[in-house]
Amino acid sequence: MLDSPTREHLDTLQEVMADGDFIVLTGAGISTPSGIPDYRDSDGVRRGRQPMMYQEFLAAPESRRRYWARAMLGWPRVRQAQPNAAHEALADLQHGGLIRDLITQNVDTLHDQAGSHDVIELHGSLHRVLCLDCGQRSERDAIQQLMELHNPYLAGVDAVQAPDGDTLLDPAFEARFQVPHCPHCFGERMKPDVVFFGENVAQHTAARAMAAAENAAGMLVVGSSLMAYSAFRLCRVIADRGKPLIAINLGKTRADDLLDLKIEASCEQLLPLLVEVLDR
């Protein structure tokens, strides 16, 4: 038996999403049950250390050394994360033609791993690495192998996990770190193919997301505090057009004033139930 708030929420979602023209926007909250740490607590306030800013990453070789040394140790945990019931439910909705588009702020590719396709990755993907010199992309796994090969002294070093695959590492270890070189041009300005703090979302990605919002009948936000402007502005578009905006999120969001309905529930429990009601 479902408790009555859950039943009511599912009835509302079923009603507004019946035509299959909703889009879904996901954030860190959908991946925390998969072991990917969240940036923010339930008040939407940033936890822990400031992540590296884009300008800082670009400015100095030492910044890139620090970034990559930590990222090398953090990668196995990101790499091993598995999609959970919420990712799988959204893949089911997509395959059933029950949603139009899937947009994510996450860089973990767990939607792809769950079987979703054409996911609009607002903030890119940690599974790719971009060379800032020649513009070519490489698989992160290949770059990881290079880093492990050239930094055997870090084998077995433990690091405290932080968000975005970064880790907290003793600075003494960083000084010796050999940064990865691009397999195409041998340049040493390699960057994970993600949008850093202080960096803009790629123009074509922002445009795709905006078009999705314009064409949608409404939007369901899953597990996001919507603090990033690239996500918040999509909510503004939906709300400004008078289309329904609903969030499933534990805790505060930046768009609380714009929401037609906020469901404070765990998405990996609620979304599989939503698949059942929409798939009838």
Build a one-symbol-per-residue string for 188-227: x at contacts with Zn ion by CB under 5 A, - elsewhere.
----------------------------------------
Rounded to whole angstroms, how far apart are CA atoms 10 and 240? 24
Cβ-based nearer residue to Zn ion, 134 or 211: 134
Q: Binding to Zn ion by residue 174, rule CB under 5 A?
A: no
For the bound state, the minimum distance from the C-beta of residue 193 to Zn ion, rounded and expressed in Å, comes to 13
Q: Binding to Zn ion by residue 134, rule CB under 5 A?
A: yes
> Is 123 annotated as catalytic?
yes
Of the candidates 142, 112, 141, which has an alpha carbon nearest to the alpha carbon of residue 124? 112
For the bound state, the minimum distance from the C-beta of residue 191 to Zn ion, rounded and expressed in Å, comes to 11
Rounded to whole angstroms, how far apart are CA atoms 11 and 273? 11
Is 225 annotated as belonging to a binding site?
Answer: yes
Q: Which of 111, 123, 181, 184 is catalytic?
A: 123
Pairing verdict, β 101-104 and 22-26: parallel
Are the C-beta atoms of 113 and 86 separated by less than 8 Å? Answer: no
For the bound state, the minimum distance from the C-beta of residue 182 to Zn ion, rounded and expressed in Å, comes to 3
Stretch that binds Zn ion, among 48-56, 118-126, 184-192, 249-257 (CB under 5 A): 184-192
Among 20, 61, 76, 187, binds Zn ion (CB under 5 A): 187
Catalytic residues, which ones?
123
- Binding positions for Zn ion, rule: CB under 5 A: 131, 133-134, 182, 184-185, 187
Binding site as annotated, residues? 105-108, 131, 134, 182, 185, 223-225, 249-251, 267
